[in-house]
Amino acid sequence: MNPKKDKNDNESCQSTINPGEWKGRTIEIDDAGTGDLVGDAFIGFRDTETGKIIFQSVPVGLYNEENKDDDRPNIHIVNVIIKALRKLNHEKGDRILLCRGNCFNLVREFFNENDIYYEPAIVEGELQDAVEGRYIQHLRKLGVSSSNLKKESGIQRYFILFNWVCQDFPNRERFVKTGFPSWKKKWRKIAIKRYKKYQRNKPTERDNIKGRANIKYELKLENPISIRESTSKSQKNR
């Protein structure tokens, strides 16, 4: 049932916004957070007939050094996809539009081996918005409060998350996908340096706050509120 074109050929990909015609049901599959520095990843599924969307998570612990080498994140993704397709009552006549991401490499192998029909796709629109939104919710729960945190992945989101880790490195490294090669080779060292710099600057910040508080207190002493004077004025007005 596989198309004649090579599924790794970008020209054979189609957008989920305007997919080719299909007589049966279509299920879209997309991911969010698999390439981001912080937090769990999420796989989203959308039944285009009903509009139903479901999510499956991939715990951040699977992306640490030990597990990443064993390809455990991608093995887990295969398992959650099997689980989700069962929930959606997937049948042989259904078409799956699968995101081209590398996190689905083992999924493509599984589909080919089990004669499950799929087409590579650029997932856009409703499902992409939903699964990225689910990932952002997760980051908010972890404590990432930046107002600049957006659904769009990329370098801006990376540095928002990186700076968040740096601010409290000892407590936040556990939320980092430490199995990414660049983390150990480069970014971890930078994060530790920035954290130490934040720590050095903290006493200065506390001193500034105390200084402002003392100034306000001294101003109050110079201009005390006279209760007696206020009371007498109010009695005259009566």
Predicted confidence at residue 204, as pLDDT, reads 59
* DSSP-derived 3-state class of residue 165: helix
Instruction: State what percent of residues in the chain have pLDDT above 70.
Output: 80
Does the residue 55 lie in any domain? yes
Q: Are 126 and 198 found together in one domain? A: no
Residue 120, strand partner residues: 98
Predicted confidence at residue 3, as pLDDT, reads 38
Split at pLDDT 50, 70, 90, the class of 67 is confident
* DSSP-derived 3-state class of residue 113: helix
Split at pLDDT 50, 70, 90, the class of 161 is very high
Predicted confidence at residue 65, as pLDDT, reads 84
Q: Are 101 and 40 found together in one domain? A: yes
On the question of pLDDT at 2 being above 50, the answer is no
Does the residue 97 lie in any domain? yes
Q: β-pairing, 53-58 with 41-47? A: antiparallel
**Domain hosting residue 195, numbered range:** 189-237
Count CB neighbours of 20 within 10 A. 9
Which of the pair, 66 or 220, is modelled with greater confidence?
A: 66
Average pLDDT over residues 52-56: 97
Look at 42-56, 115-129, 135-149, 214-228 and tell me which has the smallest mean pLDDT. Answer: 214-228
On the question of pLDDT at 225 being above 80, the answer is no
Predicted confidence at residue 109, as pLDDT, reads 97
Does the residue 168 lie in any domain? no
Write the CATH number for 46.
3.30.420
Predicted confidence at residue 69, as pLDDT, reads 73
- Asked which of 144, 179, 211 is the last residue of a domain, the reply is 144
Q: Are 31 and 137 found together in one domain? A: yes
Burial 148-183 (b: 16+ CB within 10 A, else e): ebeeeeeeebeebbbebbbeebeebbebbbbbbeeb
Average pLDDT over residues 11-17: 79
Q: Are 140 and 223 found together in one domain? A: no
d(CA 152, CA 135): 11
Among residues 94, 100, 91, the alpha carbon closest in space to that of 14 is found at 100
Work out how many domains the chain is built from and give that number: 2
Residue-averaged pLDDT of the chain? 86
Does the residue 78 lie in any domain? yes
Does the residue 200 lie in any domain? yes
Give the Å distances, CA to CA, from 89 to 22, 92, 113: 18, 10, 20
Q: Are 120 and 201 found together in one domain? A: no
Split at pLDDT 50, 70, 90, the class of 231 is very low
Q: Are 113 and 206 found together in one domain? A: no
Predicted confidence at residue 227, as pLDDT, reads 43
On the question of pLDDT at 68 being above 80, the answer is no
Does the residue 125 lie in any domain? yes
Predicted confidence at residue 219, as pLDDT, reads 54
- Asked which of 120, 144, 168 is the last residue of a domain, the reply is 144
Does the residue 167 lie in any domain? no
Look at 70-84, 111-125, 198-212 and tell me which has the smallest mean pLDDT. Answer: 198-212
* DSSP-derived 3-state class of residue 3: coil
Q: Are 136 and 196 found together in one domain? A: no
Which of the pair, 69 or 152, is modelled with greater confidence?
A: 152
d(CA 172, CA 189): 14
Average pLDDT over residues 26-49: 97
Predicted confidence at residue 180, as pLDDT, reads 92
Does the residue 157 lie in any domain? no
Q: Are 217 and 122 found together in one domain? A: no
- Asked which of 144, 179, 213 is the last residue of a domain, the reply is 144
Predicted confidence at residue 168, as pLDDT, reads 97
Place of tokens 């539009």: 97
On the question of pLDDT at 11 being above 50, the answer is no
